[in-house]
A and B are shown apart, each in its own frame.
Chain A
């Protein structure tokens, strides 16, 4: 398995896209930290960026990578290797390279400009988001053999989690505004990894004072070690569920 991961990693590094991605993140984070004035502001702008671009790039890159290495996968399947191992190696290879790019591109500037718990949460959230969206990309890729369709599904997934979902939540909150919705909102944010990540980071920033009663309630939940552990546990679940289901589909499917 390690050997396959190594080959996948080498293949990705050779394509140079990952290097461009690293440089892009690095330049953006350094730029934002220098523009923002205070490190808190830098983290805030970086958060917006991370939650919009990282899922998009992860999901598009992983889908195209999966379809491009279809022949390689077919070759491996012909060998006496467990299919699940092949799939997991592909997944880990892509997810690890993208998270490495993220850690270099965002993690290093964060350490330099604003090392602290909030920065750590930001980087951790970014890594989790990468793993989650690579998993979703793989799920989209194993569902259909058609490359165009696969990328379409992947983009739709990104569109749903980054945009449409928040719109739906806003609509629900507006429609049921007369009811106490604090816990309902909490449940709804747990159903979207991007929202969950954003709230984990926001609650640790000064801005949280603007969130009033709801913010205070969330802070009491996410402020404790258990709350934070639960939040990251949920993110982990968000990565595991698509990975496991796509692994299952991949190992049973007629290639």
Chain B
């Protein structure tokens, strides 16, 4: 025979234990229109370290909320904090803070203070998750911090009719290490994601669309990884400058189209890896200047104006197993000297043959056309684009090369387009048959 009283007693104990457990992690302070706390600021001031501030749905007209003790700020039922253009909303100056599920909006352009919706200053272990940030100057601004997670946020700005200087960046990092930026959607700012002096960070699965300047912009940021991001319709694409040891893999660079737009702009990059990316419909897919020891492999270049602009300041770069299809110009360069290595790429424009049927063309392919050289040297000659004469000259030069760089040549061009997922075995066979890969020359 079971005693019902005993069961109730047990249940009460468990409940009490749970409650006690929660108090051990801090109290929960609820904010809503009819609660004890009707403003976020009030609740944050009253909260003790380790508490949770639970913000219920509704619009709160607040700004200047300073978080200087470890807290968890959690939004429930889509609460909106509207600063009404009166300055910054959240300023985090302490470690171990979490901000989740809030909508923050309306921050005015401020040239002196660089106002942001969320600013993290000299803090570590801060987590910013699932927030929506609308119509702000800067979105999320991190400085002098470390171990930050920025995940699944949406940052949308209004850049229509604004100049570059009147806009801020969606996610801005300055002197901040070990950051994970993932799954964010950033739009309509100056730079989508901006990193300056950031080390050992990961940027992945973000989409950066319709930004005025760069989708992703980073400088002096060594040892970072960028994977599975989408950069689309940005003013000038993605810019990577003065950086060593970068991994850029599985990204998509799309529709960065305009007179001064690039898919990926590389300047002073060393010892980095660019693999398995897709470059589609960019004016210039990759522009490379003073970049050395890069491994560019397994990328797809489709329908770009220029697939690669390789300046003569680049040394020891290796291009292997890439697909070049439908580009107006495959490779262009600005001088005769060439110290880079092309091997086993697929060139759609290749017209050679393969007698021994091993999948590798028997005639070397020179991806630089005479006209591409000419345009690089004398820019006004671009006005003769699509002229019949130009096609004729290009074909003549292909038969008897005299002006195009002697050494910029793919000695072993592939006959068929590489399917990067399926052709792993094929790549291995090639590796065995070809004598020396680029790095070991």
Contact = CB atoms under 8 A, between A and B. Distances in A.
Interface of A: 44, 47-48, 51-52, 162-164, 166-167, 169-170, 173-174, 177, 181-182, 184-185, 189, 195, 198-199, 202, 206-207, 209-216, 218
B389 A213 contact: no
B384 A214 contact: no
A181 B383 CA distance: 11
A212 B379 contact: yes
A199 B259 contact: no
A209 B383 contact: no
A214 B385 contact: no
A210 B389 CA distance: 19
Contact of B380 (A44, A48, A181, A206): A181
A173 B257 CA distance: 27
Interface in B363-393: 374, 377-390, 392-393
Nearest to A52: B388
B385 A210 contact: yes
Interface string B234-266: 000000000000000000000001110100000
A170, A184, A215 pick with most chain B CB within 10 angstroms? A170
B261 A199 contact: no
B305 interface: yes
A174 to B, nearest CB: 6
A44, A47, A212 pick with most chain B CB within 10 angstroms? A212
A13 B388 CA distance: 31
Contact of B388 (A163, A173, A174): A163
Contact of B392 (A163, A174, A184, A207): A163
Contact of A170 (B258, B388, B389): B389
Contact of A173 (B258, B380, B386, B389): B380
A198 B259 contact: no
A61 B31 CA distance: 86
12 contacts: A162-B388, A167-B389, A174-B374, A174-B377, A174-B378, A174-B381, A199-B383, A209-B305, A211-B382, A212-B259, A215-B259, A215-B383
A211 B328 contact: no
Interface of B: 257-259, 261, 283, 305-306, 328, 374, 377-390, 392-393
Contact of B379 (A166, A195, A199, A213): A213
Contacts of B384: 166, 169-170, 195
Nearest to B391: A48
Contacts, number: 87
Nearest to A210: B305
Nearest to A168: B389
B42 to A, nearest CB: 54
Contact of B385 (A163, A177, A181, A211): A211
A95 B385 CA distance: 29
Contacts of A48: 386, 388
Given A47-B386, A207-B386, A210-B385, 11 more contacts: A163-B392, A166-B388, A170-B389, A182-B380, A184-B380, A195-B383, A209-B257, A209-B258, A211-B383, A212-B379, A213-B379
B378 A173 contact: yes
A109 B55 CA distance: 61
B295 to A, nearest CB: 28
B393 A177 contact: no
A42 B388 CA distance: 17
A166 B387 contact: yes
Nearest to A44: B386
A218 B305 contact: no
A173 B381 contact: yes
Contacts of A185: 380-381, 383
B286 to A, nearest CB: 15
Nearest to B305: A210
Contacts of A181: 378, 380
A50 to B, nearest CB: 11
Contacts of B306: 210
Given A44-B386, A202-B385, A207 B328 contact: yes
Given A170-B393, A209-B259, A177 B377 contact: yes
A47 B259 CA distance: 22
Contact of A198 (B261, B386, B392): B386
B311 to A, nearest CB: 15
Contacts of B382: 210-212, 214-215
Contact of B374 (A170, A202, A211): A170
Nearest to B282: A209
Nearest to A169: B384
Contacts of B385: 202, 207, 210-211
Contact of A218 (B378, B383, B389, B390): B383
B45 to A, nearest CB: 54
A164 B384 CA distance: 12
Contacts of B328: 207, 210
Contact of B283 (A51, A174, A210): A210
Contacts of A51: 388
Nearest to B260: A212
B159 to A, nearest CB: 20
B441 to A, nearest CB: 33
A218 B324 CA distance: 30
Nearest to A216: B259
Contacts of B258: 209
A171 B306 CA distance: 24
A44 B374 CA distance: 22
Contacts of B374: 170, 173-174
A163 B283 contact: no
A177 B305 CA distance: 23
B386 A214 contact: no
Contacts of A173: 374, 378, 380-381
Nearest to B257: A209
Ranked nearest first, the 7 interchain pairs of A and B with the lowest CB-CB distance are A166-B389, A177-B378, A210-B305, A185-B380, A181-B380, A173-B381, A166-B387
Given A177-B377, A209-B261, A212-B259, A202 B386 contact: yes
Contacts of B389: 163-164, 166-167, 170
Contacts of A166: 384, 387-390
